[in-house]
Amino acid sequence: MAALTPDVGSRQIVQRSSLFLRHMRQHRSKSDKVTRIVRLGVSVATSGDVRDQPKIADAASQLLQDVFGKDKSPCRLVYGVASLPLGTPVELEIIFEVRG
C-alpha cells in the first residue's frame, strides 16, 4: 500500500462525503430536516507509524460544517487501520438525526 498523505486523504474523504450527501438527497432525505449530525466516523488505511489520521478527517468535518452549520457538528471517531474493504484508503460513516 502506498503512503496516504494528509492532502491525498483529505481529497479522498471530501469526495466520499460529497457522494454521501448527494446520495442522501436523492433518496428523499432532505438536508433541511437534519436536526444534528450524531456521529462522524472516519477509518483511514495507514501504516503503523502514521499519525495524521485526524488531519484527514478534518476535511469531512469542515465539509459537514459548511453544509449543515457549525451548530450541528458531530462527535467524531477517527481510526487508523491496516486495511479497508476493496483496498479503499478511507471509509466514512455519518449518522444523522432527522425530524419527522
Where in the sequence is the domain holding 43, given as residue range(s)?
A: 6-98
Q: Provide the domain count of the chain.
A: 1
Tens digit of each residue's pLDDT (9 = 90 or more) over 64-100: 999 888 998 899 999 999 999 998 889 999 998 888 7
Q: What is the pLDDT of residues 16-47, one digit of tens each?
A: 888 888 877 776 656 678 888 999 999 999 87
For residue 100, what are the CA distances in angstroms to 20, 35, 66, 73, 97? 21, 10, 23, 20, 10
Here the CATH number for the domain that contains residue 81 is: 3.30.1330.40
- Look at residue 1 and tell me if it is in a domain: no
Strands (E), 1-100: 34-45, 75-81, 90-98
Q: Are 72 and 36 in contact (CB under 8 A)?
A: yes
pTM of the model: 0.80
